[in-house]
Amino acid sequence: MSRAVADTFQETLVRELGADVVQRDLALDPLPADAWTHTAATRGLPVEERSPEQQAAYDLATTLADELVAADALVIAVPLYNFGVSQHLKTWFDLIIADPRFAPGQQPIAGRPATLVVARGGGYGEDTPRAGWDHATPYYERILSDVWGLDLTVIEAELTLAHVTPAMAELRELADQVQNRAHDDARSRARQIGESLRRAA
Ligand SMILES: Cc1cc2nc3c(=O)[nH]c(=O)nc-3n(C[C@H](O)[C@H](O)[C@H](O)COP(=O)(O)O)c2cc1C
């Protein structure tokens, strides 16, 4: 579902703006879990003293930061798994923050538009039993909005398990509404970004 809503965003933006898209699929092509340790070990270490693993991790962090710095707009699609952050996305954040351009206090992409699409099987509204159990979205907001200074919009596609979970049968209509709204929000966010990028061009 997160991918489908992000696809709606991307298709709209490409239609509006003819935008070039760079995709990085962290689920199909995961970042190595030990890359952060290796790149962190290169800090202050002359190039000739780095191990091949350390240099490869450093180069990977540089590539990820290059991709991000080159982007006029960012969309991230991520599911909620076990109430916490995606390990893949966490590794992506960690590696980018290891790049000197993103060192604490640096905001090389501040003010750019970012859109976070979060898919959740259940419901986490304020008046539900699971309110406050999504420990991932606040973390993503902290990094994207507060640490990197991006102009962030969060689109939430909830109740995605309603149609395959008998106990959620009575929530199916609501689930359809919530998910249709997520696609509508993705379309209008993409149009808004398209317009402002076109004006700035
Ligand atoms: C291992 C695993 C853990 C999950 N944990 C949660 C969870 O903590 N809360 C929740 O609402 N949904 C949970 N789900 C459901 C997914 O968030 C939901 O199916 C979501 O739509 C998946 O994203 P996608 O549709 O983009 O693939 C979990 C699914 C899996 C496979």
Instruction: Kindly state the average pLDDT of the residues 110-127.
Output: 97
Pocket around ligand 1: residues whose beta carbon is below 6 Å from it? 1-3, 79-83, 119-122, 160-161
Report which protein residue has its CA nearest ligand 1's atom 8: 82
User: What architecture is domain 2-200?
Assistant: 3-Layer(aba) Sandwich (3.40)
**What is the distance in A from the centroid of ligand 1 to the CA of 119?**
7
Report which protein residue has its CA nearest ligand 1's atom 2: 81
pLDDT at 75 over 90: yes
17 pLDDT band (50/70/90 cuts)?
confident
Report which protein residue has its CA nearest ligand 1's atom 6: 81
8 pLDDT band (50/70/90 cuts)?
very high
Report which protein residue has its CA nearest ligand 1's atom 28: 81
All structural domains of the chain with their residue ranges: 2-200
Instruction: Kindly state the average pLDDT of the residues 147-160.
Output: 98
- The residues that bridge with 89 in the sheet, in sequence order, are none
Cα–Cα distance, 134 to 118 (Å, whole number):
10
CA angle 74, 149, 153 (to 5 degrees): 50
Instruction: Kindly state the average pLDDT of the residues 175-188.
Output: 97
pLDDT at 177 over 90: yes
Instruction: Kindly state the average pLDDT of the residues 165-179.
Output: 97
**What is the distance in A from the centroid of ligand 1 to the CA of 20?**
30
CB 103 within 8 A of CB 144: no
pLDDT at 201 over 90: no
Instruction: Kindly state the average pLDDT of the residues 74-100.
Output: 98
Q: DSSP readout, 48-111?
A: GG--HHHHHHHHHHHHHHHHHHH-SSEEEEEE-BTTB--HHHHHHHHHHHHSGGGSTT--TTTT
